Amino acid sequence: MRRSGRKPGEPIYLRRHMIALILAVILPLVILQLYKIYIGPVSFDFQIGVGLLLSVILGLALHLAYRSSAKNQP
């Protein structure tokens, strides 16, 4: 019986993958908050649009940067 929690074919993610994913989720929120503090208020629609745009861009960057190191378990 296997002791590992992974299923066959499931990718092995490293700590750097998880840190980068957390940054990709948190970074758009931080950027919007800093913009509101230093520049001025923005509409809710603008916040949602910028948040989604940054999340998609950062998600694609993560995929391209880490797809070769997230190897499948044999």
Q: What is the mean pLDDT of the chain?
A: 77
Residues 6+ apart with CB under 8 A from 50: 28, 31, 32
Residue 13, in any domain of the structure: no
Residue 48, in any domain of the structure: yes
Global pTM value: 0.59
C-beta of residue 32 within 8 angstroms of C-beta of residue 47 = yes
Residue 7, in any domain of the structure: no
- Which residues of the chain fall short of a pLDDT of 70? 1-13, 69-74
pLDDT in tens, 22-35: 888 888 888 888 88
Determine the pLDDT at residue 17. 75
Domain interval for residue 34: 29-69
SS3 46: helix
For residue 7 the two structure tokens come to 């299923």
If one counts the domains in the chain, the total is: 1
Determine the pLDDT at residue 41. 87
Determine the pLDDT at residue 25. 81
Determine the pLDDT at residue 1. 47
